[in-house]
Amino acid sequence: MKKRNNVRNIAIIAHVDHGKTTLVDKMLRFTSTMDVLQDERVMDSNDIERERGITILAKNTGVVYGDYEINIVDTPGHSDFSGEVERTLQMVEGFLLLVDSAEGVLPGTRFVLMKALQLNLKPIVLINKIDRKDADIERTESEVHDLFLDLAINESQLDFPVLYGSSKLGFVTKDPNIQTNSMEPLFEAILNHIPAPESTEDYLQLLVTNLDHSDFLGTIAIGRVFNGQINVGQQFVACKDDYVSKPMKITKIYKFKGLSKVEVEQASFGDIVAVTGFNEPVTIGTTLCQVDKPIPHDYVKIDEPTLSMYISVNDSPFCGQEGKFLTSRQIKERLEKELKTNVALRVDTSDTTDSFKISGRGQLHLGILLENMRREGFEFQVSAPEVIYKTINGIKQEPIEYLVLDVQEEHQGVVMEFLGRKKAEMKNMTHYDNGRVKIEFEVPSRGLLGFRGQFLTDTRGTGIANFSFLGYQPYKGDIITRTKGALVSMDNGSVTAYALDTLQERGTLFVAPGDKVYQGMIIGEHSRDNDLDVNPTKQKKLTNMRASGTDDAVKLDPPRKMDLETCMEWIQPDELIEVTPQSIRLRKKVLRASMRK
């Protein structure tokens, strides 16, 4: 067995918004890997990540600390992107778990820690954001130890260093009462507690965990060399399960340093690299091997999807007016491209040629894909999300989420009553001194469809909800879905203020004066449980008489903003979301009112 004592590979894991990407910024700056960081969160490379402040795609970087090379993987914290976590944790020997000192252990913390411990990785814990006024370091540390006791697979995983710090201020310390201006304790902990890479064989094994593309170099495979070494000009084969490719030749090898790739001639076991030289398609989970030793490396199985929906060609009266890519062939090609890198996604053909079934980890996972397609110029329509049931030992089972709520005590009753109707089971409740209460539930995934909007209404916008996939349990029975009907346009044309003035008494409107509508388009939420066909284009009849008081300006409430994810929560099985680069509309599957009766 060989060791590379000057190399460390570590993943940074945490719940959403606990400071992972900001910490990587400070690590790059402390090691002078990047002297000047123009932006915060430099690892958040895509627009949606920057807008929402969350990590969606796992990314690699590397720093040099003294004589050591440290490869760092920044992972997502939301369980909807757990496919990213699962595929990247295979590249490292250890992990740094960040926990917010005020928010404590949340579902995302539990989820990513469970995945890391299942791979038997060595832990380091960092209690982050200790500069917050509401920080409760003692409670958070106690929660972390309880979580490890609950999830640890063996006793050695309970032996880990605990550090304290602030990603924002750029310091880490061993004593929470002493603020430093250095990241040194973190780097020393990585060197002392994370094992150096080991090689058990002399032959080459490079496991591909991510893919990129270059117009000049073709496919770029990103992964880790587990055994042997790889050289520019070397012949190799790509192996996965029983498949072995024809021999190919390495043309470029890159290592990661900061935000850039550094070209090298050779890489050895323990290195995380990007390589080129493919003339056959390669997939995530493939192992690059010597021609005479086609032995694939073990690859962790990705969890199955829990939610599905249908995406199809837009056939509304407004189709083709705003998008560039409209046809089923273009949608199919885009989904096939996504499958190459989005390992948790599944795409199946449906009964019709212009519709595809997409399955993913959750509403956010599918919503980000649809948002990306929309920004690229695609136009399409999607159905209501449906959970994926399984039959295990002859029993129908459904996906269950672990839900943690932080609400004011005065809103506790209404929230618990609402979740009770959704078949949720309360598991734990903790009262805090500041008048807030933390409640933990196990709730069916389908019970959380449409939950967010109602929860924010019930808590007057003060509640915090976090959830992650827990597993499959026996079917809990029927759940009441949306309790209010839709206001559906019965005519084509432009919306008038005169018509909306009378319609706003009937419910909440989604449209404003001047908006174009068509027959069958949903223009609002009815205040009752039934759908109501209305005419939002009706104009005031003109006469040559003036009546006192009737010509006052119309006063309308602002329309409710329905973004893509809100629409996914709101719609029913007989409805569709029409998505274009400029607009998101709701509609009935059957547009003509007489045909829906």
Residue 82, pLDDT > 80, answer: no
Residue 551, pLDDT > 50, answer: no
Alpha helices in 376-518 (DSSP H): 412-421, 451-458, 497-503
Compute the average pLDDT of residues 484-508: 89
The predicted pLDDT at position 562 comes to 86
Count of all residues that appear for the chain in the document: 597
Tokens of 1: 């067995």
Beta strand extents in 39-179 (DSSP E only)? 59-65, 68-74, 94-100, 122-128, 162-166, 171-173
More confident residue, 214 or 326: 326
Confidence tier at 21 by pLDDT (50, 70, 90) = confident
Residue 260, pLDDT > 60, answer: yes
Compute the average pLDDT of residues 397-422: 87
The predicted pLDDT at position 354 comes to 82
107-118 helix and 137-151 helix, angle to the nearest 10 degrees: 40
More confident residue, 343 or 375: 375
Query: Which is it for the CA torsion 238, 242, 243, 244, positive or negative?
Result: positive
The predicted pLDDT at position 43 comes to 46
Compute the average pLDDT of residues 372-393: 89
Residue 298, Cα to own-chain centre: how many angstroms?
25
Greatest mean pLDDT among 132-136, 303-307, 371-375 lies in 371-375
Identify the DSSP state of 18. S
The predicted pLDDT at position 310 comes to 92
Confidence tier at 312 by pLDDT (50, 70, 90) = very high
Report residue 189: phi and psi, to 5°: -65, -40
The predicted pLDDT at position 587 comes to 92
The predicted pLDDT at position 18 comes to 63
Predicted confidence (pLDDT) per residue in 270-279, tens digit: 888 889 888 8
- Closest C-alpha to 306, from 368, 383, 360, 342: 360
Per the DSSP assignment, residues forming a β-bridge with 288 are: 206, 238
More confident residue, 546 or 592: 592
Compute the average pLDDT of residues 134-158: 87
More confident residue, 294 or 34: 294
CA distance 584 to 580: 6
- Closest C-alpha to 296, from 248, 244, 239: 239
Predicted TM-score (pTM) of the model is: 0.73
Compute the average pLDDT of residues 436-441: 88
Which of the residue ranges 76-85, 195-204, 263-272, 438-447 would you say has the lowest mean pLDDT? 76-85
The predicted pLDDT at position 585 comes to 92
Residue 365, pLDDT > 70, answer: yes
CA distance 6 to 183: 19
Compute the average pLDDT of residues 508-526: 90
**Percent of the chain topping pLDDT 90:** 12
- Closest C-alpha to 399, from 345, 361, 456: 361
- Closest C-alpha to 305, from 362, 230, 266, 258: 362
Which of the residue ranges 332-346, 374-388, 572-586 would you say has the lowest mean pLDDT? 332-346
Which of the residue ranges 74-78, 83-87, 339-343 would you say has the lowest mean pLDDT? 74-78
Q: Give CA angle at 203 (200, 208), nearest 5°.
A: 90
The predicted pLDDT at position 38 comes to 47
What is the residue-averaged pLDDT of the chain? 83
Residue 578, pLDDT > 90, answer: yes
Compute the average pLDDT of residues 152-169: 87
CA distance 268 to 257: 16
Helix count and strand count (H, E) for the chain: 13, 38
The predicted pLDDT at position 49 comes to 46
Compute the average pLDDT of residues 305-334: 89
